[in-house]
């Protein structure tokens, strides 16, 4: 690289955000790290610096618009113009809808949806006048297909998808060279399943098949440079999104029968354990959750998606070759 990129990552202390911070650290980027948990942020900073990058720890709650704006200003004051902004922070509650509270819905929406909006606004205020930069919205297959027991999170991801569509249309209308891409993730092995607020009788799990957070980080990095509109990660995400477009009623029936058990393991949940809905859980959780032995560290679908131009060109050349041979 000719210069060190300046990158901001929300939700950078753990999970997908942490893996993404590590990946940009390996690229020796200058990274603004946003999250609430100071231990995880400091650990991410040390990792980035060990890789040869630079990091700025910014402990804040993404639901606070003014704090996000101040953090963006601090990053540019410290490192220079922001090149890439990654909106990754999220919150969730595992619960049947009729057991949810108004505060549950408000909080998940404020973090998962409004956090994306506030981060995007802070990035746009700086990128649009310069007419350059990339914003990556970390989404989910659940942005298209809601599932039982995660209504607040699914609704917030649906909202991000609508916001993303509106933003892209406006950027095109304005002739802006600021790029925005939404990355739709599959089930990822992150620590969230042991710290998210839960009313389930048994401990939560990501719906298999499960991928390691480095797969998501690779997709986010690719999205920041690809100029793609949207990027589905892994065959399970693509299957869920495409399947719901054609057979939403069948998806309802399938999830009604299988969606509850698929999200729980055979261990009782501790109703009194700490959760991170309102305050961060203490300690450094790292990038990985407890499902490493069942998680894939690569995605063939993502590999092909990243190279689809070359693959389509090769398929076209092969088709022309076959056609020429048949004419002989």
323 within some domain? no
From residue 123, give the alpha-carbon distance in Å to each of 7, 14, 119, 174, 325: 11, 22, 6, 16, 54
Predicted local confidence at residue 313, as pLDDT: 54
114 within some domain? yes
321 within some domain? no
Beta strands in 43-192 (DSSP E): 54-59, 84-87, 93-94, 134-140, 179-185, 187-188
Predicted local confidence at residue 3, as pLDDT: 76
1 within some domain? no
81 within some domain? yes
Residues whose CB is less than 8 angstroms from the CB of residue 264 and which lie 6 or more positions away in sequence, other chains included: 200, 201, 202, 203, 204, 205
Predicted local confidence at residue 107, as pLDDT: 98
The structure's pTM equals 0.92
Active-site residue set: 153
150 within some domain? yes
CATH code of 135's domain: 3.40.50.720
Provide the domain count of the chain: 1
One digit per residue, the tens of pLDDT, for the chain of length 328 reads: 467 899 999 999 999 999 999 999 999 999 999 999 999 999 999 999 999 999 999 999 999 999 999 999 999 999 999 999 999 999 999 999 999 999 999 999 999 999 999 999 999 999 999 999 999 999 999 999 999 999 999 999 999 999 999 999 999 999 999 999 999 999 999 999 999 999 999 999 999 999 999 999 999 999 999 989 999 998 888 889 999 999 999 999 999 999 999 999 999 999 899 999 999 999 999 999 999 999 989 888 887 877 766 555 554 544 455 555 566 6
Residue 56 has, within 13 A of its CA and on its CB side, a CA count of 21
311 within some domain? no
Q: How far apart are CA 216 and CA 116, in angstroms?
A: 18
From residue 17, give the alpha-carbon distance in Å to each of 11, 14, 20: 5, 6, 5
The domain containing residue 192 runs over which residues? 6-297
Interstrand relation of 197-198 and 93-94 (parallel, antiparallel or unpaired): parallel
């Amino acid at each position: 690289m000719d210069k060190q990129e300046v990158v901001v990552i929300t939700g950078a202390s753990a999970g997908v955000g942490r893996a993404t911070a590590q990946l940009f650290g390996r690229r020796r980027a200058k990274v603004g790290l946003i999250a609430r948990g100071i231990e995880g942020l400091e650990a991410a900073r040390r990792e980035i610096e060990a890789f040869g990058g630079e990091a700025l720890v910014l402990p804040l709650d993404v639901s606070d618009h003014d704090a996000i704006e101040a953090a963006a200003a601090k990053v540019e004051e410290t490192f220079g113009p922001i090149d890439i902004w990654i909106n990754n922070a999220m919150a969730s509650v595992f619960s049947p809808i009729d057991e949810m509270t108004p505060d549950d819905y408000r909080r998940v929406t404020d973090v998962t949806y409004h956090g994306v909006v506030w981060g995007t606004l802070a990035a746009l205020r700086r990128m649009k006048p310069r007419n350059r930069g990339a914003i990556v919205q970390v989404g989910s297959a659940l942005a298209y297909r809601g599932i039982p027991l995660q209504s607040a999170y699914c609704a917030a991801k649906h909202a991000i998808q609508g916001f993303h569509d509106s933003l892209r249309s406006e950027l095109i209308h304005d002739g802006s060279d600021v790029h925005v891409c939404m990355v739709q993730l599959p089930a990822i092995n992150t620590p969230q399943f042991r710290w998210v607020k839960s009313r389930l009788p048994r401990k939560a799990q990501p719906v298999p098949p499960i991928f390691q957070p480095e797969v998501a980080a690779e997709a986010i990095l690719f999205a920041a440079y690809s100029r793609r509109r949207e990027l589905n990660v892994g065959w399970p995400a693509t299957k869920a999104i495409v399947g719901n477009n054609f057979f939403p009623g069948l998806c309802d029936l399938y999830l009604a029968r299988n969606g509850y058990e698929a999200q729980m393991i055979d261990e009782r949940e501790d109703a009194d354990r700490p959760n991170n809905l309102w305050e961060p859980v203490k300690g450094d959780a790292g990038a990985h959750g407890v499902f490493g032995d069942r998680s894939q560290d690569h995605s063939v679908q993502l590999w092909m998606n990243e190279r689809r131009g070359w693959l389509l060109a090769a398929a076209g050349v092969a088709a022309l070759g076959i056609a020429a041979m048949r004419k002989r």
